[in-house]
Chains A and B, each alone.
Chain A
Amino acid sequence: MSLDLKFTYTEKKDTRSGFGDGFLEAGRKNPNVVGLCADLIGSLKMGAFQKEFPERFFQTGIAEANMIGLSAGLALGGKIPFAGTFANFATGRVYDQIRQSVAYSNKNVKICASHAGLTLGEDGATHQILEDLGMMKMLPHMTVINPCDYNQTKAATLAIAEYEGPVYLRFGRPSWPIFTPADQKFEIGKAWKMIDGKDVTIFATGHLVWEAVVAEAMLREEGISAEVINIHTIKPLDEEAILESVAKTGCAVTAEEHQINGGLGDSVAQTLIRHNPAPLEYVGVNDSFGESGAPTQLLEKYGLNAENIVKAAKRALERK
């Protein structure tokens, strides 16, 4: 079966490379940009920056709590620290350090979190954090961003360097379709309507935006018109875009590589329940940990792929 996709790709790449390339470019643009990494420079693709700006890069060793504190100190001295590690160690392990030294103190620290979600793959559940968006979005002052592909991650990395305030930037490990333009402008807090539709809205974030694009084509073959909205910024949430779309379609699906508890779906539900209670179905991990496996196998097993978005859309439609 060959689908008529509204967005296509010729190349796949990991979103962490989008971060690494954006980080290097941000460093070239602004001498105040500095980097820190807790012994994962290769994995985070921070090596090119380190090589070009050794005096502005700090290898912290395997000591994430210290890295967050250092970042707060560098930030109050006028630097723009990008602190990188795996999403698990960038959030749960250092929640209190982020809460007190970064969020409450409102420091201009960019927490750069790779290998998020199930698509980390074979390393298994110890590393596959599925709660990070929830933890970070609960923190006052924190901006939470989860871009969908290499190009959007690179654009987001450049955008957060220009933004003053704490940011959590989430990206991942797997090679993934590059389906958004290289020259895109990234607007923090502004949802991107990628595909117009009238029957159901799919709000997707991160890697699952691609699955939503595939799901839209599958639904269209069955005569269902789906709108696809890319929610790259979980917080602040673009409530206006959400309400405008659901006012038209009357029902929605959220899709994310995260626990249903506390994720994008929760945020969308809060918005709808207050302004326009409409049928909403969730595609996300349902209160379980992950496991080892290939990324696409895991997305299938845990119900996070295009087929599952299609099923959820039909459930939402039936409830209209």
Chain B
Amino acid sequence: MEKQPIEQLQKICTQLRRDVLRMVHAVQSGHPGAPLGCAEFFVALYFDQLHHNPDFQMDGKGEDLFFLSNGHLSAGWYSVLARSGYFPVEELKTFRKLNSRLQGHPATHEHLPGIRVASGSLGQGLSVAIGAAQAKKIDKDDSLVYVLMGDGELQEGQVWEAAMYGAHFGVDNLIATVDYNGQQIDGPTDKVMDLKNLKAKWEAFGWEVIETKDGNDLKAVLEGLEKAKSLTGKGKPILNLLYTEMGYGVDFMVGTHKWHGSPPNDEQLANALGQLEETLGDY
């Protein structure tokens, strides 16, 4: 895929936000907050960073892979997959509906292109990503594996099993990003279960840690991912702490956990869409 100027990528971010809001509104269920906060990440990854093939192959040999461990961000992932050509944009209207390939949380059983493993039950994606990265190492395939986790998700013990393992085996073809928005369903992470110093934690586990301080600034996200890429192949797995704001892009949704798992009503949707220009055409 040809690289696009940042102004164009910015437009895709806006459209992704519109897609997410319209999808969760249409079915009155789903999780709008976190995918709104990760729009820049999704777009930077799929439209700039990943060497990938929308003509989907499950084994992904010779291409970069992405895993969404925090599967409740499905609306954002489906939007970016559709907008980058994995399946028709029209299909976004089936999100969470009966007989859809776009399950509430990502699944493989209906063979939706772009999805390689189910996610939703938290804490499992890093392990899967490391396994896929090791398969690449066995095959001497020098492409990379990416995974996104939520910060609240780091409360799951399996994540730290995987963290220990990734460093032990020097899985240095892996870039794990944490959506560091400080929010989870029941409230701010520091109230629910304080994550304390995540940078120090990951470093203590033997990872190379970078911080992307403004995860809703597209330029910063791109620079962070470039930096992460430059650190691969040096014996350590990479952890990208991506500071985002949940609900970013809509003034009444930003910075709160209240829109983690709640859809907007008609009036709220109209208000939100009024703040987001339709750039690529709604589905």
Residue positions of A touching B, CB distance < 8 A: 34, 55-56, 58, 60-61, 63, 65-79, 81, 96-97, 99-101, 104-107
Q: How far is the CA of A112 from the CA of B120 in the complex (A)?
A: 25
Encoded as 1 (CB less than 8 Å from any A CB) or 0, chain B from 107 to 133 comes to 111000000111111011111111111
Encoded as 1 (CB less than 8 Å from any A CB) or 0, chain B from 144 to 174 comes to 0000000000000110011011001100000
Q: Are A73 and B127 touching (Cβ within 8 A)?
A: yes
| Given A61-B164, A104-B109: A77 and B136 interface contact (C-beta under 8 Å) | yes
| Chain B interface main SS type | helix
Q: Are A58 and B128 touching (Cβ within 8 A)?
A: no
CB < 8 Å neighbour of B127 from A34, A56, A69: A69
Q: Are A106 and B108 touching (Cβ within 8 A)?
A: yes
Q: Contacts A63-B161, A78-B139 known; list 6 others, CB within 8 Å.
A: A58-B134, A58-B169, A76-B131, A78-B59, A78-B135, A100-B124
Which chain B residues border A60 with CB–CB below 8 Å? 161, 165
Chain B contact patch, size range? 35 or more
CB < 8 Å neighbour of A70 from B58, B118, B128: B128
User: Which residue of A is nearest B123, CB measured?
Assistant: A65
User: Which residue of B is nearest A66, CB measured?
Assistant: B161
Q: How far is the CB of A223 from chain B (nearest CB, A)?
A: 53
Q: Does B61 contact A (CB under 8 A)?
A: yes
A selection of 23 A-B contacts at a CB cut-off of 8 Å is: A34-B138, A60-B161, A65-B123, A65-B157, A66-B165, A68-B127, A70-B162, A71-B131, A72-B117, A72-B127, A72-B128, A73-B117, A75-B131, A76-B131, A76-B132, A77-B60, A77-B61, A79-B135, A96-B121, A97-B127, A105-B108, A105-B116, A107-B117
Q: How far is the CA of A101 from the CA of B161 in the complex (A)?
A: 16
Q: How far is the CA of A70 from the CA of B125 in the complex (A)?
A: 9
Q: Are B128 and A101 touching (Cβ within 8 A)?
A: yes
Q: Are B129 and A73 touching (Cβ within 8 A)?
A: yes
User: Which residue of A is nearest B137, CB measured?
Assistant: A55
Q: How far is the CA of A72 from the CA of B135 in the complex (A)?
A: 11
Which chain B residues border A67 with CB–CB below 8 Å? 127
Q: How far is the CA of A291 from the CA of B104 in the complex (A)?
A: 44
| Given A61-B164, A63-B161, A65-B158: A70 and B131 interface contact (C-beta under 8 Å) | yes
Most chain-B CB neighbours within 10 Å: which of A72, A73, A105, A107? A73
Q: How far is the CB of A204 from chain B (nearest CB, A)?
A: 34
Encoded as 1 (CB less than 8 Å from any A CB) or 0, chain B from 202 to 232 comes to 0000000000000000000000000000000
CB < 8 Å neighbour of A66 from B59, B127, B139: B127
Q: How far is the CA of A60 from the CA of B161 in the complex (A)?
A: 9
Most chain-B CB neighbours within 10 Å: which of A76, A78, A104? A76
Q: How far is the CB of A96 from chain B (nearest CB, A)?
A: 5
Which chain A residues border B117 with CB–CB below 8 Å? 72-73, 76, 101, 105, 107
Which chain B residues border A72 with CB–CB below 8 Å? 117, 127-128, 131
Q: Are B138 and A101 touching (Cβ within 8 A)?
A: no
Most chain-B CB neighbours within 10 Å: which of A66, A75, A105, A106? A66
Q: Are A65 and B108 touching (Cβ within 8 A)?
A: no
Q: How far is the CB of B95 from chain A (nearest CB, A)?
A: 19
Q: Are A73 and B59 touching (Cβ within 8 A)?
A: no
Q: How far is the CB of A30 from chain B (nearest CB, A)?
A: 13
CB < 8 Å neighbour of B161 from A65, A74, A96: A65
Which chain A residues border B118 with CB–CB below 8 Å? 100-101, 104-105
User: Which residue of B is nearest A34, CB measured?
Assistant: B138
Q: How far is the CB of A226 from chain B (nearest CB, A)?
A: 43
Q: How far is the CB of B196 from chain A (nearest CB, A)?
A: 22
Q: Are B119 and A66 touching (Cβ within 8 A)?
A: no
| Given A65-B157, A76-B58, A78-B59: A101 and B135 interface contact (C-beta under 8 Å) | no
Which chain B residues border A34 with CB–CB below 8 Å? 138
CB < 8 Å neighbour of B132 from A77, A96, A106: A77
Q: How far is the CA of A71 from the CA of B139 in the complex (A)?
A: 16
Q: Are A69 and B128 touching (Cβ within 8 A)?
A: yes
Q: How far is the CA of A65 from the CA of B130 in the complex (A)?
A: 13
Which chain A residues border B164 with CB–CB below 8 Å? 61, 63
| Given A58-B169, A78-B135: A66 and B162 interface contact (C-beta under 8 Å) | yes
Q: How far is the CB of A183 from chain B (nearest CB, A)?
A: 32
Q: Are A70 and B108 touching (Cβ within 8 A)?
A: no
Which chain A residues border B168 with CB–CB below 8 Å? 61
Which chain B residues border A96 with CB–CB below 8 Å? 121
Which chain A residues border B123 with CB–CB below 8 Å? 65
Q: How far is the CB of A77 from chain B (nearest CB, A)?
A: 3
Which chain A residues border B124 with CB–CB below 8 Å? 65, 69, 97, 100-101
User: Which residue of B is nearest A38, CB measured?
Assistant: B161
User: Which residue of A is nearest B127, CB measured?
Assistant: A69
Q: Are B138 and A79 touching (Cβ within 8 A)?
A: yes
Q: Are A73 and B139 touching (Cβ within 8 A)?
A: no
8 nearest A-B pairs in the assembled complex, by CB-CB distance: A73-B131, A69-B127, A77-B135, A63-B161, A66-B161, A70-B131, A73-B132, A73-B128
